[in-house]
Amino acid sequence: MANFFSRSNNDMKYLFRNKDVLNKKELKRKRRAKSTIFGLILVLIQLVATVLFLMAFYKLDILPTKYMIMLTAILVLFLLYDFTSQFTKITFIGKILAILLSIVLFFGYTAGENVNNMFTTITHKQYSTDVIDLIVLKNDSASTIKDTLSYGYGYNQAIEKDVIKDAIKQVEDKNNAKINAVEFSDWTQLVNALYDNTQVKLLIVSDSMKTTIAETDPDFNNKTRVLDTLKITTQVEVEQAEVKAKGEPFIIYISGNDDFGETKDAGHSDVNILATINPETRQVLLISTPRDYYINITRANGASGKDKLTHSCNDGIKYAQKAISDLYGVKIDYYMRINFDGCINIVDALGGITVDSGVEFSNGEDAYDKTFHFNKGLNDLTGEMTLAFVRERHAFVDGDLQRGRDQEAAIKGIIDKATSPAIIANYSEVLEAVSQMMITNMPTASITNLIKEQISDSTAWNIQSYSVGASDIGMYYLNIYNFTASCVIPDYDTVNLACDMINKVYNDEVFDVDAYVEQHTDPVTGKINYGETTGLSSTSTKTTVTSTTQSPVSR
């Protein structure tokens, strides 16, 4: 090797000499010097690519330490080989390797940066966009906003005051006019004022609230039309949650909103699932709560009262998290918010999922504008089929309760696919779908810890699910929104049983949910009788579950 270094050093003397004055042997040495310089440039590029690649992946922190050490050692060995080969007779092989590795490493660096950017996007999302509808009667002569500048603009000052005032200001600034804003604190009075069409001729309301009004007034959509929509973008404070220790159990609140497009912090929460995850036992417990559960919720202005669970998110995801936390008496570590587009895009990016349906059914137009048929048992679903599967509720006798079970089945299918080797082929599409359609307060370190644990231990996850039930379904007064709507009264025996199972997962117990539920099911009535087996009253609304080691349940 020393001879080759010495020879290359001597070759360099001829590098800048005029080839016209060189003999045949000296010309050969000149060409060899050029080849060496070219090879060293390629190795230098390889060095830059190696450094960038390793920096990106050390920053990403998704590979276990032993794998990162092995990867670094291999790349350094390749770099040394390609460098030394430039001074030997196998210089051609070193050049080819340097070119190929540089391409791969630059591609890997770009992929690593994309992943880092994805984590930043979903864990530090700073803005939320509210869609505001400007609604007039269907037979109103107005065709543009300019035609309504003399109208009375009615809005609910008790519910959406700040965002509506921003929308009114946007209309005023755009049209250089002063709007006659009429405040109401009761939705029924506000809607009736629009119908009367004297004091109020235009209703200004968020798109999510329009859906809520239509739930209680079936004729609302037939009597009115949306004249125009506005978008109000506001800053959202994403408070990063605490990083859990490696292997420590944690709970994620999964909220799904009923919108398409960009995921919003606020809006209805039609999917409400508590995922309790124990990395040590590889156990996952999914607890589904009906969207229409009649429970205590709290608003941003401090008002609280009995209302639908789905409405708890109208002021933001943290208020929905509080409602779920209060219902179960459980400390929720993280939240995850996803919308309908996210469901379609993520499933398609994964290459489809397989779900186990408990019933055979076809979805209606309310669930999706295409009709799909689902068999009892295993079904291979695309993104569109998955969305129809998790949204349908009118096809079932128990409506929203079965929809909750279907949502759990879909999430299980997504987890199964996302933790399988098949995701590698579609990783870029998955990352793009996730970054655009999901927000979470889960710290990046917690996400990367999970990925590292999955790489280190490929043991399959034991995913169990349970849906809490209802003791009654009927029309109840919504204290927050001041009208009556169809609600589901919680069956607190099932809620207590869910809390008990959460504790079991936390305490490293591996169990079968179906078998455990059967132990607490009355063989005559088929109902959960948690009280008789634990000493609790079946009418209890507070869990008193105990735990031998650690417990997320505080009641």
pLDDT at 289 over 90: yes
Helix or strand or coil: residue 51?
A: helix
CA distance 122 to 143: 39
Contact (CB, 8 A) for 170 and 176? no
- For residue 500, the surrounding DSSP H or E stretch is helix 492-506
Of 223, 212, 71, 51, the C-alpha closest to 135 is: 223
Q: What is the token pair recorded at 320?
A: 């929905």
Confidence (pLDDT) at 535: 31
Band (pLDDT 50/70/90 cuts) for residue 332 is very high
CA distance 371 to 348: 18
Band (pLDDT 50/70/90 cuts) for residue 542 is very low
pLDDT at 113 over 80: yes
pLDDT at 6 over 60: no
Band (pLDDT 50/70/90 cuts) for residue 293 is very high
CA end-to-end span of the chain, whole Å?
A: 74
Which has more pLDDT, 535 or 342?
342
Q: What is the mean pLDDT of residues 298-304?
A: 82
Helix or strand or coil: residue 161?
A: helix
pLDDT at 255 over 70: yes
Dihedral of CA atoms 331, 337, 427, 456 in degrees, nearest 10, equals 0
CA distance 184 to 161: 10
Confidence (pLDDT) at 88: 78
- Where residue 13 falls (left for φ over 0; alpha for ψ -120 to 50; beta otherwise) is alpha
Contact (CB, 8 A) for 31 and 6? no
Q: Kindly report the average pLDDT of the chain as a whole number.
A: 82
Distance of CA 540 to the CA centre of its chain: 34
Instruction: Outline where 156-287 has alpha helix (H).
Output: 161-175, 187-196, 207-216, 220-223
pLDDT at 12 over 70: no
Contact (CB, 8 A) for 152 and 200? yes
- For residue 277, the surrounding DSSP H or E stretch is strand 271-278
Which has more pLDDT, 326 or 244?
326
Confidence (pLDDT) at 176: 93
Confidence (pLDDT) at 539: 37
Contact (CB, 8 A) for 296 and 304? yes
- For residue 4, the surrounding DSSP H or E stretch is helix 2-11
Of 277, 275, 257, 262, the C-alpha closest to 450 is: 277
Residues 78-81: contacts with CB under 8 Å, at least 24 apart = 78/46, 79/43, 79/46, 79/47, 79/50
pLDDT at 336 over 90: no
Confidence (pLDDT) at 125: 58
Confidence (pLDDT) at 306: 93
Q: What is the mean pLDDT of residues 53-71?
A: 85
Distance of CA 247 to the CA centre of its chain: 22
CA distance 272 to 500: 19
**Per-residue pLDDT tens over the stretch 151-169:** 999 998 877 777 888 899 9
**Per-residue pLDDT tens over the stretch 124-150:** 655 667 788 999 999 999 999 999 999
**Per-residue pLDDT tens over the stretch 399-449:** 778 888 888 888 888 888 877 766 656 666 676 666 667 788 888 778 777
DSSP calls for 345-395 = HHHHHTT-EEEEESS-EE--TTT-SS--EE-SEEEEE-HHHHHHHHH--TT
Q: What is the token pair recorded at 516?
A: 């455990």
Instruction: Outline where 176-316 has alpha helix (H).
Output: 187-196, 207-216, 220-223
| Strongest mean pLDDT among 319-333, 475-489, 535-549 | 319-333
Band (pLDDT 50/70/90 cuts) for residue 538 is very low
> What is the set of domains in the chain, with CATH numbers?
2-117 (no CATH), 127-235 (3.40.190.10), 250-534 (3.40.630.190)
Q: Strands (DSSP E) along 358-502, which ranges? A: 361-362, 373-374, 377-381, 438-440, 462-467, 470-478, 483-490
Q: What is the mean pLDDT of residues 102-122?
A: 82
On the CB side of 171, CA atoms within 13 Å amount to 26
